[in-house]
Amino acid sequence: MSLTNSVCSDTEAYALPRGGDENTRLKNQHPLFEDYAGGLIDASISKSDIHRVADIATGSGIWLAEVAKLLNNPTNVYYGFDIVASQFPENPGPQLGRFTMVEHDMTKPFPEQYHGQFDFVNVRLVVQALKEAEVKTAVSNIAALLRPGGHLQWQDLEWTDIAPYPPYPDYDDVRSVFKQHMKAYGLSECLPELVETSMQEVGFVEVNAKKSWHDSSSERAAGATTCVTTAMQSMLPKALATSLRSEGSSVDEATFQRVLKQLMQNLESLVLSGHNMKLSATKVMGSKD
């Protein structure tokens, strides 16, 4: 991304690219988040009661496709919603159940035809997309999709938990760029807490949040490090542009590219020097009254 492109007026907070490489990245990180969540569907929910499923911000639809395999019922119905259609699978192939992908922004009310239609709704990893001021509206829009007694499962990151261990000073500049980017766009560094509060305010019952960690000896450590550093490298061009803009810095293209390269190298050398990244994922559950 050039500086000229990236600093132009841009209201979308989302800094990740979209397309083939991004779909591969989402697919590669899927097992890690399934592991953090303790499975695709929370163990408290009876799978035999789930026949109509929606995945919001579905991206490539990887969670939806895997859930269809898990539920293993060809009469089930699966809907993927995303603000852009460009990552939807071109040819989902033979799937267990009926699949429909719909372009929709979760901050806007879902069309009435979908209201009360779903037993289970999933949301995963929108921390870099959903602004703090939009969270309660999104939760309320999603609530409308559920039948009474239906369940919402939302797994997301506490951005404040992300940190290298042992400490790695060269990461500080990267951290600062993301902090400025998220602040400039009104993104929350503690999204799961906001989701939990919003679910309570919107009237969900049995709301509970469960945070999952890994320690340095865990098999998850390497996966979490790869997941965080590759995602950050993908987001850095836009995040750096936002950060410079919010500082009021005016830099030429060559300087922008030089700073970008340095930040990318900081992340690479963090990994090469044997550091890992702490990462937590929090799963918030609730049921519609």
Ligand X SMILES: C[S@@+](CC[C@H](N)C(=O)[O-])C[C@H]1O[C@@H](n2cnc3c(N)ncnc32)[C@H](O)[C@@H]1O
Q: Where does this chain bind ligand X (CB under 6 A)?
A: 14, 16, 26, 57-59, 62-63, 82-84, 87, 105-107, 124-126, 129
Please say which residue, 145 or 244, places its beta carbon nearer to ligand X.
145
Please say which residue, 62 or 271, places its beta carbon nearer to ligand X.
62
Q: For residues 12 and 68, give the distance between their C-alpha atoms in angstroms, rounded to a whole number.
A: 31
Length of the chain: 289
Q: How far does the chain reach from its first CA to its final CA, in angstroms?
A: 46
Beta carbon of residue 217, minimum distance to ligand X (angstroms, whole number): 26
Q: For residues 87 and 65, give the distance between their C-alpha atoms in angstroms, rounded to a whole number.
A: 14
Beta carbon of residue 170, minimum distance to ligand X (angstroms, whole number): 25
Please say which residue, 15 or 259, places its beta carbon nearer to ligand X.
15
Q: For residues 93 and 229, give the distance between their C-alpha atoms in angstroms, rounded to a whole number.
A: 31
Q: For residues 154 and 108, give the distance between their C-alpha atoms in angstroms, rounded to a whole number.
A: 18
Please say which residue, 123 or 244, places its beta carbon nearer to ligand X.
123
Beta carbon of residue 127, minimum distance to ligand X (angstroms, whole number): 8
Beta carbon of residue 125, minimum distance to ligand X (angstroms, whole number): 4
Beta carbon of residue 42, minimum distance to ligand X (angstroms, whole number): 16
Residue 269: CB atoms within 10 Å:
13
Closest CA to 97 of 118, 120, 68: 68
Please say which residue, 67 or 259, places its beta carbon nearer to ligand X.
67
Closest CA to 246 of 175, 182, 190: 182
